[in-house]
Chain A
Amino acid sequence: MVRCSCGYDPGGIPRQQRELAIKFNGSAREYFRIWIVNLCLTLLTLGIFSAWAKVRKKRYFYSHTTVDGTPFQYLGRPIPIFKGRVIAATAFLTYYASSHFFTALLPYVFAAGAVLAPWVLIRSAAFNARYSAFRNMTFHFDGRYLGALKALYRWGIIPVFVLGMLFNWWGKPAVAGIALLVFGVSFPWWIRRVRDFLISHSSYGNRKGIFSATGGQFFGVYFRSGLIMVGIGIVVTMFSAMLIASMAKKSTLMVWFFAVPMYAGYVLAYAYVQAHSSNLVWNHTWLGPLRFQSTLRGWGMAKLYVTNALAIVVSLGLLIPWAVIRTLKYRADHMRVLQKGELAEFQGSDMSAVEAIGAETVDFFDMDLSL
């Protein structure tokens, strides 16, 4: 294998395989200033500036991530993002008001949400792709509403859920229990389908993404994280029971002997899922001549989460930018891009303008559908 991370493509001679260096070179000091300006102006303008804040933030992350020496470019502009935010805020207020004041309307709001979800999915994916560029070529997403609808609801899970809400089936514990079990077991396959939809409709130049992970592999990730959680739970319960039994004086503080390690177990299981589902997605994605190798570890991610959280709490939030930069660096350090064939295989095509509405809805409701 020929390894090369030089800045420019020599082009011409076909090579077997080479690695394109991926680097994140953002600095915590620089990003701190961007972050505080964003936060301060967003508060001063009662949220209006948040559209600019988002653009500046993404621009910083993109511009400081380089593949083979070239930074990514973020093309999003504040005004369309602001429009999207207004619509997302309206949708959120509708949901909020109906969940607090007009509870009778809530099932209809959920139904409307279920109808709109595929649209939100495709619009946000299209927006993100359209406004992300590398070497003067934007990404592209061509998923359609019907495709998204099928990807999200092929097994009719959400329609059943909405019907259940409408006719109050959830009051019956047996129905709810079975439904919960079905949701739980089918969830990895659902995740796979959504990922597949997003990746196989994304393209760069004339090359589409190919996704080959199976639902069983996703199931394995969730299953193992469940085992971690259960394993730690059993050990913690045994130890804390022994400890409490051996102590003469009982106090309510002993709850902490149990609660703290249990929470640590939860963090570890969560980090495991984050790391390994991300690995699974990247390691089974092809884009033209490129493939990816992600080597995140659950343990490493958990350490990162815990130290970040401690630093943020101790610094009253001032170390948030440091934590963000550190996390992005960590992720970039555990990612490799391998090239087999020529980058010239990617041929540019016409680009069409996309509105910002979809992308903002995802942001506002904080549904993390990104890779």
Chain B
Amino acid sequence: MITLEGTYYDGRTPVAVPARMEFARGSALLIAGQTSLRHAAAALSVSPRIGKADRFIALPDNGQFQCPDHPFLQSLPQASPSEGPVAWLEERWGVALAGIAITACLLLAGYFYGLPAAAERVAARIPVETEQTLGRHALTWLDEQKWFKPTNLDLNTQKSIRAGFDRLRSDLPLKSCYQLEFRASKALGANAFALPGGTIVITDGMVKAANSEEEVLAVLAHEIGHVELRHTMRSLLQNSAVAVAAAAVTSDAASLSVAVAGLPVLMAQTKYSREFETAADEFAFKLLKQKGYSPLAFASLMERLAIKYESDKMFVYVSTHPVTEERMKRARAAAEE
């Protein structure tokens, strides 16, 4: 016979009554003050084990018996059986250490390999057309908000850049999606960017900063790389996944999560965006060579923009496309191959 000391609650008033429960031959006898009640052990329901906390035994008559944890309670019917194995895991330091190792591996592997690979596959399955609406909206919005003015480039310049652009895109899988837009913008300076769905915007400032048409095409090839490699969709997927994962890890420290997780999340996302820049560079160098242009044009334009940026702090393109030694080296290496 097993006897457990504890407290009885009748379920009608929150009054605690000292009680004990005796288990013998499949039946349970509850003795609380003057009353004693007998139930079949199989009709009881025991709350899950958690830490060293007391357990609650629900009785068939809506009463409840509360007592310290005891191994015998595991042999009674459980209120939430699926939590049993979880409680087993939670009680072991070995499991906790393994948990740290597995969590660290999962987060690192997911961040460096899993997530980029998964985002690439998912992005490849999403039709470009869904992005095009987004791109058109973005351009209309930018125009409406006066970020842009109509271009001041003369028609001949536009036409010859367009011809070069058409040559660049002529063999690409997404060739029918591209659309080249010229805009003047004081705020954005010498700039070029790809909007989702294949719209590529180049500012007058950028065209003027370039010494030759080849240099303009080099920038456009880089932007084509972003479109062709589906970078908008992939960065959206990857950045959201990083944010969700960070929220999951810090959810317990919710009141601190912005302060604690903000910077790491930003750093993690910056690394992805740098990788996309490198990938777009590689794509551009290959495309330029294939079409008979030199990747050196890209390097020389970027260097010139960097010098201008240093002197008058105006060119924003290089702030999102940092000019590094490494990048220039790769452009030169691509040109020599």
Contact = CB atoms under 8 A, between A and B. Distances in A.
B82 A52 contact: yes
A348 B13 CA distance: 6
Contacts of A104: 137
Given A77-B80, A135-B15, A324-B252, A37 B56 contact: no
Interface in B54-75: 54, 56, 62-64, 66
A43 B100 contact: no
Interface stretch (B91-99, B299-307, B313-321): B91-99
Interface residues of B, number: 60
A39 B250 CA distance: 10
Contact of B50 (A56, A102, A313): A56
Contact of B137 (A50, A103, A321): A103
Interface string B93-137: 101100110110011001000000000000000000011011001
Given A33-B91, A39-B99, A56-B86, A344 B250 contact: no
A135 B252 contact: no
Contact of A40 (B102, B131, B240, B260): B102
A100 interface: yes
Given A34-B90, A70-B7, A103-B137, A344 B63 contact: no
A56 B102 CA distance: 20
A30 B52 contact: yes
A73 B53 CA distance: 10
B257 to A, nearest CB: 9
A31 B253 CA distance: 13
Given A52-B82, A56-B90, A136-B64, A366 B254 contact: yes
B143 to A, nearest CB: 15
B26 interface: no
Contacts of A13: none
Contact of B51 (A64, A134, A135): A64
Contacts of A4: none
Contact of B9 (A60, A136, A323): A136
B83 interface: yes
B269 interface: no
B236 interface: yes
Contacts of B142: none
Contacts of A317: 249-250
Nearest to A92: B244
B106 A134 contact: no
Contacts of B52: 30
A33 B110 CA distance: 23
A312 interface: yes
B311 interface: no
Main secondary structure of the interface of A (DSSP, over half): helix
Given A36-B96, A40-B99, A77-B80, A63 B53 contact: yes
B86 A43 contact: no
B12 interface: yes
A305 interface: yes
A60 B83 CA distance: 12
B48 A59 contact: yes
Contacts of B106: 40, 43-44
A36 B98 CA distance: 9
Nearest to B98: A40
Given A9-B16, A40-B99, A40-B102, A33 B11 contact: no
Most buried by B among A40, A71, A101, A104: A40
A295 interface: no
A71 B54 contact: yes
B100 to A, nearest CB: 6
A213 to B, nearest CB: 22
B22 interface: no
B44 to A, nearest CB: 14
B12 A347 contact: yes
Given A34-B51, A55-B83, A71-B53, A318 B100 contact: yes
A219 B86 CA distance: 46
Given A34-B90, A309-B259, 18 more contacts: A33-B99, A37-B90, A39-B249, A56-B90, A59-B48, A63-B51, A134-B14, A135-B9, A135-B15, A136-B10, A267-B259, A274-B255, A305-B256, A312-B250, A320-B252, A320-B253, A323-B256, A343-B14
Interface of A: 7-9, 11, 26-27, 30-37, 39-44, 47, 50, 52, 55-57, 59-60, 63-64, 68-71, 73, 77-78, 96, 100-104, 134-137, 204-205, 267, 274, 305, 308-309, 312-313, 317-318, 320-321, 323-324, 327, 343-344, 346-348, 366, 368
27 contacts: A33-B93, A36-B103, A37-B95, A37-B99, A39-B99, A39-B248, A39-B249, A40-B99, A43-B106, A56-B83, A63-B53, A68-B16, A70-B16, A71-B53, A77-B80, A100-B134, A103-B134, A135-B16, A136-B11, A136-B64, A137-B9, A204-B14, A205-B14, A305-B255, A308-B256, A320-B252, A323-B253
